[in-house]
């Protein structure tokens, strides 16, 4: 049953404590509102589940921007937009997959408003940037008035279709991306939508594949639009370990591992058969291209 | 007295004059129907929840959380409409179109999902929209027919047959076919397509009635139908003011002057605002009548997509027989189109599809049977191309499959079969105009470097295969034509009229029922009239299409605006010039002296058409302005107005009973070429390059003509590769711009547009219609290119990544 936008309530606190105090209130939950790029679509389609909205735009001071920790961890503030992220030179150098996907979110207007934290909390199985964060081993920092701060690995953050571990008194305050052990060349992602831009992913992959001496020594493979949430595919990750990428039966091994782990659906955007076939091919492409990149990087290194 | 020398000239026609309406539209200041100042009620529509059944009741849910109460609403159902019209005795609830079978509001039985059952109105838009979702339509379900391909013969409501020579007799045709050296068969399917005009449907209605029929403190509620004469006035986004006018006269049992229909600026139409606005105008009018207040109804995108018309889905079975060298001897086509729940415009769509089904080829023996079928989906309707894109896709895809079968270059196969002047099309129409299809084909092939590109694509693919790269390139062609104007005797029945009139300011005002839907009709009409009279563009204005002010010049459809109505604009301007002369308002003293420069870019010696004398530029512009002002001041319509009515060009007639004869007065002829790259991993297709070459008689405005072609190509790329209507139980499940995927700028290749000009004697300065043409060719050109790239022989649209990957897997399985 849909209500009317004029009946909705919004509050715009200007410090974090006030925001957390509102979230801790009993009664109708407050829904945090950052870029609004998902929320306004829900409103337009009459699908808003909430009646109270916590406008975070007054918290730029505490939740905006990017910071680098001494250990090389990237801290992305909850109000950091895709545009701010992709414009940062160090992010471009160290997390190229993150920048590449940030450039494919919606269009320029969406990238200027949408936030990484919002992309995580929206918990769409077709998310663009959140799966890359999962492949890179990111953590989510939550804060509440009563419980203080806690950090949750993205692996554990989504609990089901559009479900997260966030309590209704909690707010995402930052996303933490650790330094990458295999550098930029191990990162690989690809989004397959029906058109070039402004597309919703019908099948996608985000991966980190570490190579040493021509063998895969680490694989984090994230499937997009293949399950209720973006998810790592442990069976494929294990199947890839130790591989050289030259195995003649590699495609079959990936397919077998995938079959046991993923059950994609037929829906309005694509078919289960297409998703299953193309995802297997994307894994293989990720293996080949990260291997090539690792090799080129190695050569570059020896030449230097 | 006629002192003017035949100086016919053109200063504007053939030049890229800007659209007078462009500035405000680009700045965002142009007011569309929802932007107009409005005080009144907002209407909303209550619709059926399933594909077929009977309505047994309405349940009005609680509104207390909205702060509203049902007593604040006006509600209209079919019960508000009399069962027999006082005017003509038929049920006024049935929309007056080709057949009267579609109700404005469901009385009892319904035939598709989202069919209108009730209308509600309230002063608050937000409240009326939320309240509409609280009304439950209680129904009894009946079995629905949802697949037009498998529907039985009882679902067929229109059949068209075309027979030529041996095709007249089934056995003789079978014998001819059996004697052919080569036979090729195929089944081709096309899907529904949404018009996706930027501005959804919208309408405002007002009722003018006697004070006795208005509510008062003593009598707060009045009967829906006034006791004394009344008038219904609507304005909105539409293509055909006089279609809406006819529908409202019938619904409200009013005389012609009892209804006024005015077009607002339209944010696109593409056929989607050809027939549907009649229904929306009826709805707004009913609410306005019931409440005696202005009522505005604007659909949001979701409602517009699920409830209004789309392109007809189609299936064509083609069997062709050829000589060993590829020459066509026999064509058999069995075609079906899905009409949806009601007849609406489907018979005409089917007709146009049939007439274009064999393309610009000479075939001795033809046997076409085409059927329109009812299903329980919203009626399919007009969309740019109007049946032709479906059959052109089928035949042009088929021609490439024939070329593969024969081992012939696809362009060579076409060249061997092109009709020549004096030759005959499948519908037994002899081509009288000078055409040079072979030369035009060669020109297009050369401009695209057809052979070189094909060879380079094949080399690229070989290299890719060797190096394990999944990308493949291919180059494809489609050769086709499109007839402009109404089919056969359609223009005779329309008998369109155009008026031009002198204004007190010394200007010329053009009065037609044509609406500017993005095609540039205001600019082009102005250019035609200015050059016919010898005026500057600033001296010409185009009146708003308003049935109180403009004559019925027919609908804004069928690529007829520039060619048919533009020609009437030239003739009406010519008529007015003669009246000014006969009234003595122009004389010897006003003549432009021999040898006087006509202006920098005036071309002397070209006639507007065979039916226009073309004495423009005989007089000095200031003399013309003075004469126009004097004519207006006279108050005498005989002097101040010029008129023209459609006259059929000389030549053969069309026989609707046997589908033979002059189907269209003229055709535009085209060759479209595409190069694609297919990603073998994902099945995604990227269009690398595109060439659209066409003969269109005369280019009236190069910039606008390029725009028409480019826009049509992009719309057709969407249909060919991306757009698909996903139906479930008669409901469109992707009725939003998120999941109904139209191309963006990033999906559009460079488009090279080329024109040949072979003037048509009965179009203004020789112009033919071009609005629909570019929708016909891209889909087959692209799928032919995909087949060249990959060997994947797709015969159904869209060529989605899912279809391409499924075809790869099927091919692997077969190995």
Which tens digit of pLDDT belongs to each residue from B555-613?
Answer: 999 999 999 999 999 999 999 999 999 999 998 899 887 767 676 678 877 888 888 88
Banded pLDDT at B614 (limits 50, 70, 90): confident
If asked whether residues B430 and B562 sit together in one domain, one would say: no
If asked whether residues B767 and B670 sit together in one domain, one would say: yes
Banded pLDDT at B112 (limits 50, 70, 90): very high
The pLDDT of residue B6 is 52
CB-CB contact of A295 with A223 (8 Å):
no
Q: Pseudo-torsion of CA B761, B766, B769, B770, nearest 10°?
A: 140
Residues of A with CB under 8 A from a CB of B: 1-7, 41, 45-46, 192, 194-200, 268-271, 273-274, 277-278, 281-282, 285
Tell which wins on pLDDT, B315 or A299.
B315
Domain A184-299 sits in CATH at 3.30.390.50
Are A195 and B681 in contact (CB < 8 Å)? Answer: no
**Angstrom distance (rounded) from CA B790 to CA B808:** 9
Instruction: Check if B679 contacts A (Cβ < 8 Å).
Output: no
Q: What is the CATH number of the domain that holds B591?
A: 3.30.365.10
Q: Choose among B501, B533, B528: nearest CA to B621.
A: B533
Are B738 and A282 in contact (CB < 8 Å)? Answer: no
Are B681 and A278 in contact (CB < 8 Å)? Answer: yes
Instruction: Check if B810 contacts A (Cβ < 8 Å).
Output: no
Are B747 and A195 in contact (CB < 8 Å)? Answer: yes
% of chain B exceeding 70 in pLDDT: 98
Instruction: Check if B744 contacts A (Cβ < 8 Å).
Output: yes
Picking from B681, B722, B741, the nearest residue to A285 by CB comes out as B681
If asked whether residues B716 and B625 sit together in one domain, one would say: no
- Over residues A193-206, the mean pLDDT reads 94
Query: How close is the nearest chain A Cα to the Cα of B735, in Å?
Result: 10
**Angstrom distance (rounded) from CA B688 to CA B681:** 18
Domain boundary among B285, B307, B329: B307
Picking from B126, B682, B747, the nearest residue to A192 by CB comes out as B682
**In terms of CA atoms, which chain A residue is nearest residue B132?**
A2
If asked whether residues B390 and B476 sit together in one domain, one would say: yes
Residue with tokens 């036979």: B183
Averaged pLDDT score across all residues of chain B: 96
B37 assigned to some structural domain = no
Domain boundary among B603, B619, B645: B645
* Cross-strand bridge partners of residue A142: A150, A172
The pLDDT of residue B515 is 98
If asked whether residues B302 and B277 sit together in one domain, one would say: yes
**Angstrom distance (rounded) from CA B208 to CA B229:** 9
For A136-176, give the DSSP string: TT-EEEEEETTTEEEEEEGGGTEEETTEES--TT-EEEEEE
What is the DSSP-derived secondary structure letter of residue B550? S
The pLDDT of residue A303 is 35
**Angstrom distance (rounded) from CA B450 to CA B475:** 8
The pLDDT of residue A302 is 38
CA–CA distances in Å: residue B607 to residues B567, B575, B614, B765, B766: 12, 15, 5, 6, 9
B154 assigned to some structural domain = no
Sign, CA torsion B616/B621/B623/B629: positive
- Over residues A27-53, the mean pLDDT reads 92
The pLDDT of residue B7 is 59
Are A281 and B681 in contact (CB < 8 Å)? Answer: yes
Query: How close is the nearest chain B Cα to the Cα of A241, in Å?
Result: 23
**In terms of CA atoms, which chain A residue is nearest residue B799?**
A194
B189 assigned to some structural domain = no
Are B127 and A194 in contact (CB < 8 Å)? Answer: no
- Domain interval for residue B556: 9-31+496-645
The number of C-beta contacts closer than 8 angstroms across A and B is 73
B719 assigned to some structural domain = yes
Domain A63-177 sits in CATH at 3.30.465.10
Given a cut of 90, whether residue A221 has pLDDT beyond it is: yes
Domain boundary among B645, B680, B698: B645
- Over residues B509-520, the mean pLDDT reads 97
Q: Into how many domains does chain B fold? A: 3
% of chain B exceeding 90 in pLDDT: 92
Given a cut of 50, whether residue A168 has pLDDT beyond it is: yes
Are B746 and A197 in contact (CB < 8 Å)? Answer: yes
B756-774 burial: b if 16+ Cβ within 10 Å, else e: bebbbebbbbbbbbbbbbb
Which residues fall within 8 angstroms of residue A256, CB to CB, at 6 or more apart? Answer: A239
**Angstrom distance (rounded) from CA B336 to CA B347:** 12
- Over residues B32-49, the mean pLDDT reads 98
Are A194 and B65 in contact (CB < 8 Å)? Answer: no
Q: Which residues in chain A have their CB less than 8 angstroms from residue B130's CB?
A: 2-4
Residue with tokens 């449907």: B201
CB-CB contact of B764 with B702 (8 Å):
no
If asked whether residues B341 and B295 sit together in one domain, one would say: no
Q: Which residues in chain A have their CB less than 8 angstroms from residue B798's CB?
A: none
B185 assigned to some structural domain = no
- Over residues B268-279, the mean pLDDT reads 97
What is the complex's ipTM, to 2 decimals? Answer: 0.95
B169 assigned to some structural domain = no
Q: Choose among B405, B421, B424, B425: nearest CA to B413.
A: B405
**Angstrom distance (rounded) from CA B100 to CA B93:** 9
Q: Which residues in chain A have their CB less than 8 angstroms from residue B733's CB?
A: 268
Are A46 and B133 in contact (CB < 8 Å)? Answer: yes
Are A195 and B741 in contact (CB < 8 Å)? Answer: yes
Picking from B127, B302, B739, the nearest residue to A269 by CB comes out as B739
Query: How close is the nearest chain A Cα to the Cα of B805, in Å?
Result: 7
Instruction: Check if B801 contacts A (Cβ < 8 Å).
Output: yes
If asked whether residues B337 and B448 sit together in one domain, one would say: yes
Q: Which residues in chain B have their CB less than 8 angstroms from residue A277's CB?
A: 805, 809
B155 assigned to some structural domain = no
* Cross-strand bridge partners of residue B755: B694
A115-135 burial: b if 16+ Cβ within 10 Å, else e: bbbbbbbbbbbbbbbbbbbbb
Helix (H), strand (E) at residue B442: helix B437-448
If asked whether residues B583 and B437 sit together in one domain, one would say: no
Q: Choose among B437, B487, B475, B448: nearest CA to B670.
A: B437
Query: Which of the residue ranges A162-176, A221-235, B645-659 would you say has the lowest mean pLDDT?
Result: B645-659
The pLDDT of residue A1 is 42
The pLDDT of residue A5 is 85
Instruction: Check if B200 contacts A (Cβ < 8 Å).
Output: no
Interface test with B, best of A7, A8, A46, A198 (most B CBs within 10 A): A198
Q: Which residues in chain A have their CB less than 8 angstroms from residue B801's CB?
A: 192, 194, 274, 278
B43 assigned to some structural domain = no
The pLDDT of residue B595 is 67
Interface test with A, best of B801, B803, B813 (most A CBs within 10 A): B801
Q: Which residues in chain B have their CB less than 8 angstroms from residue A224's CB?
A: none
Banded pLDDT at B5 (limits 50, 70, 90): low
**Angstrom distance (rounded) from CA B351 to CA B322:** 26
The pLDDT of residue B616 is 80
Residue with tokens 């199947």: A239
Strands (E), B639-737: 641-645, 654-655, 660-661, 667-679, 685-695, 727-728, 731-732
Q: Which residues in chain A have their CB less than 8 angstroms from residue B126's CB?
A: 4-6
Query: How close is the nearest chain B Cα to the Cα of A46, in Å?
Result: 9
Q: How many C-beta atoms surround the C-beta of residue A55 within 10 A?
A: 16
Instruction: Check if B809 contacts A (Cβ < 8 Å).
Output: yes
Given a cut of 50, whether residue B2 has pLDDT beyond it is: no
Interface test with A, best of B130, B676, B799 (most A CBs within 10 A): B130
**In terms of CA atoms, which chain B residue is nearest residue A2?**
B130
A162-196 burial: b if 16+ Cβ within 10 Å, else e: eebebeebbbbbbbbbeebebeebbbbbbbbbbbe
If asked whether residues B689 and B635 sit together in one domain, one would say: no
The pLDDT of residue A288 is 96
CA–CA distances in Å: residue A51 to residues A5, A8, A145, B637: 9, 5, 22, 64
Q: Which residues in chain B have their CB less than 8 angstroms from residue A2's CB?
A: 130, 133
If asked whether residues B375 and B508 sit together in one domain, one would say: no
Structure tokens at B330: 């026999």
The pLDDT of residue B88 is 82
Interface test with A, best of B128, B676, B677, B805 (most A CBs within 10 A): B805
Given a cut of 50, whether residue A304 has pLDDT beyond it is: no
Query: Per the omega criterion (within 30 degrees of 0), is the bond before A244 cis?
Result: no
Read off the pLDDT of residues B202-261 as tens digits, 9 standing for 90 and up: 999 999 999 999 999 999 889 999 999 999 999 999 999 999 999 999 999 999 999 999
Given a cut of 70, whether residue A284 has pLDDT beyond it is: yes
Query: How close is the nearest chain B Cα to the Cα of A201, in Å?
Result: 11
If asked whether residues B114 and B259 sit together in one domain, one would say: yes
- Sequence ranges of the domains in chain A: 5-53, 63-177, 184-299
Taking 3-state DSSP, the helix, strand and coil percentages for chain B, each rounded to the nearest 5, stand at 35, 25, 45
CB-CB contact of B484 with B667 (8 Å):
yes
Q: Which residues in chain B have their CB less than 8 angstroms from residue A278's CB?
A: 681-683, 801, 805
If asked whether residues B252 and B377 sit together in one domain, one would say: no
The distance of Cα B785 from the centroid of its chain, to the nearest Å, equals 27
Query: How close is the nearest chain A Cα to the Cα of B19, in Å?
Result: 29
Q: How many C-beta atoms surround the C-beta of residue B427 within 10 A?
A: 25
């Amino acid at each position: 049953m849909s209500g009317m936008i004029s009946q909705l309530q919004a509050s715009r606190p200007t410090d974090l404590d006030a925001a957390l105090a509102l979230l801790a209130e009993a009664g109708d939950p407050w829904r945090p509102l950052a870029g609004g790029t998902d929320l306004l679509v829900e409103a337009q389609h009459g699908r808003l589940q909430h009646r109270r909205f916590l406008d975070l735009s007054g918290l730029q001071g505490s939740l905006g921007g990017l910071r680098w920790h001494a250990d090389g961890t990237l801290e992305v503030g909850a109000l950091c937009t895709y545009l701010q992220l992709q414009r940062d030179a160090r992010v471009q150098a160290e997390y190229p997959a993150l920048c590449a996907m940030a450039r494919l979110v919606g269009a320029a207007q969406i990238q200027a408003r949408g936030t990484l934290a919002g992309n995580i909390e929206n918990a769409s199985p077709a998310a663009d940037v959140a799966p890359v964060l999962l492949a890179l081993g990111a953590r989510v920092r939550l804060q509440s008035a009563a419980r203080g701060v806690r950090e949750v690995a993205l692996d554990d953050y989504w609990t089901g279709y559009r479900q997260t571990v966030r309590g209704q008194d909690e707010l995402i305050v930052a996303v933490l991306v650790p330094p990458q052990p295999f550098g930029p060349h191990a990162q690989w992602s690809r989004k397959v939508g029906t058109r070039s831009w402004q597309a919703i992913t019908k099948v996608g992959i985000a991966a980190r594949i570490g190579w040493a001496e021509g063998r895969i020594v680490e694989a984090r493979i994230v499937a997009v639009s293949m399950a209720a949430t973006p998810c790592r595919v442990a069976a494929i990750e294990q199947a890839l370990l130790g591989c050289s990428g030259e195995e003649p039966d590699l495609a079959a091994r990936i397919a077998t591992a995938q079959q046991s782990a993923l059950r994609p659906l037929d829906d309005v955007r694509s078919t289960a058969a297409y998703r299953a076939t193309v995802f297997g091919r994307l894994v293989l492409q990720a293996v080949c291209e990260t291997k090539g990149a690792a090799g080129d990087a190695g050569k570059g290194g020896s030449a230097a | 007295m006629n002192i003017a020398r035949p100086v016919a000239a053109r200063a504007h026609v053939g030049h890229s004059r800007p659209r007078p309406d462009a500035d405000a539209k680009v700045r965002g200041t142009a007011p569309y129907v929802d932007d107009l100042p409005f005080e009144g009620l907002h209407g909303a529509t209550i619709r059926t929840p399933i594909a077929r059944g009977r309505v047994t009741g309405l349940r009005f849910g609680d509104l207390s959380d909205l702060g509203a109460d049902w007593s604040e609403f006006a509600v209209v159902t079919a019960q508000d409409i009399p069962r027999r019209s006082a005017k003509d005795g038929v049920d006024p609830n049935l929309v007056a179109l080709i057949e009267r079978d579609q109700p404005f509001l469901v009385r009892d039985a319904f035939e598709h999902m989202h069919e209108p059952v009730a209308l509600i109105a309230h002063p608050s838009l937000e409240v009326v929209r939320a309240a509409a979702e609280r009304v439950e339509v209680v129904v009894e379900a009946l079995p629905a027919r949802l697949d037009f391909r498998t529907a039985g013969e009882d679902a067929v409501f229109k059949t068209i047959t075309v027979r030529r020579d041996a095709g007249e007799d089934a056995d003789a045709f079978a014998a001819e076919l059996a004697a052919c050296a080569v036979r090729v068969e195929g089944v081709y399917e096309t899907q529904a397509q949404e018009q996706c005009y930027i501005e959804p449907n919208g309408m405002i209605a007002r009722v003018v009635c006697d004070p006795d029929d208005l509510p008062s403190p003593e009598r707060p509620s009045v009967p829906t139908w006034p006791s004394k004469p009344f008038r219904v006035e609507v304005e909105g986004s539409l293509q055909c003011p006089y279609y809406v006018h006819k529908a409202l006269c019938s619904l409200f049992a009013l005389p012609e002057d009892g209804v006024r229909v005015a077009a607002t600026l339209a944010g696109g139409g593409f056929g989607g605002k050809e027939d549907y606005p009649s229904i929306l105008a009826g709805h707004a009018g009913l609410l306005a009548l019931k409440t005696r207040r202005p009522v505005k109804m604007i659909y949001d995108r979701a409602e517009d997509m699920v409830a209004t018309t789309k392109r007809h889905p189609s299936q064509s079975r083609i069997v062709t027989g050829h000589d060993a060298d590829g020459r066509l001897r026999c064509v058999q086509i069995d075609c079906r189109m899905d009409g949806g729940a009601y007849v609406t415009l489907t018979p005409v769509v089917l007709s146009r599809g049939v007439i274009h089904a064999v393309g610009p080829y000479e075939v001795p023996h033809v046997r076409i049977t085409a059927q329109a079928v009812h299903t329980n989906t919203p009626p399919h309707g007009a969309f740019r191309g109007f049946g032709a894109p479906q059959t052109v896709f089928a035949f042009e895809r088929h021609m490439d499959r024939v070329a593969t079968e024969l081992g012939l270059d696809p362009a060579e196969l076409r060249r061997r079969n092109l009709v020549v002047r004096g030759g005959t099309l499948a519908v037994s129409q002899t081509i009288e105009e000078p055409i040079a299809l072979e030369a035009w084909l060669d020109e297009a092939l050369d401009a695209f470097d057809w052979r070189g590109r094909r060879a380079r694509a094949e080399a690229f693919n070989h290299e890719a295969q060797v190096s394990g790269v999944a990308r493949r390139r291919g180059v494809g062609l489609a050769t086709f034509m499109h007839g402009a104007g109404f089919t056969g005797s359609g223009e005779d029945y329309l008998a369109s009229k155009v008026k031009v009139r002198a204004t007190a300011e010394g200007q010329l005002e053009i009065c037609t029922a044509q609406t500017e839907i993005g095609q540039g009709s205001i600019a082009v009409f102005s250019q035609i009239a200015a050059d016919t009279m010898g005026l500057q563009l600033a001296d010409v204005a185009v009146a708003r299409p308003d049935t109180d002010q403009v004559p019925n010049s027919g609908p804004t459809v069928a690529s007829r605006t520039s060619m048919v109505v533009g020609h009437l604009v030239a003739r009406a301007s010519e008529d007015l010039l003669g009246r000014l002369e006969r009234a003595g308002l122009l004389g010897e003293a006003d003549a432009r002296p021999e040898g006087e420069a006509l202006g920098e870019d005036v071309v002397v010696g070209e006639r507007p058409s065979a039916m226009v004398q073309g004495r423009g530029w005989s007089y000095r512009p200031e003399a013309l302005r003075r004469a126009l002002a004097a004519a207006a001041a006279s108050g005498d319509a005989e002097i101040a107005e010029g008129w023209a009515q459609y006259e059929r060009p000389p030549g053969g007639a069309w026989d609707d009973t046997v589908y033979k004869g002059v189907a269209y007065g003229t055709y535009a002829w085209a060759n479209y070429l595409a190069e694609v790259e297919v990603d073998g991993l994902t099945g995604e297709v990227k269009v690398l390059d595109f060439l659209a070459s066409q003969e269109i008689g005369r280019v009236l405005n190069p910039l606008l003509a390029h725009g028409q072609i480019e826009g049509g190509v992009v719309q057709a790329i969407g249909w060919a590769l991306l757009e698909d209507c996903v139906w479930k139980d008669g409901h469109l499940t992707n009725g939003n711009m998120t999941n109904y995927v139209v191309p963006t700028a990033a999906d559009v290749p460079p488009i090279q547009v080329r024109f040949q000009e072979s003037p048509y004697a009965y179009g203004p300065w020789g112009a033919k219609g071009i609005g629909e043409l570019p929708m016909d060719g891209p889909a087959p050109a692209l799928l032919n290119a995909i087949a060249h790239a990959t060997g994947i022989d797709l015969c159904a649209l869209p060529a989605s990544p899912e279809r391409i990957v499924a075809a790869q897997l099927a091919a692997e399985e077969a190995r």
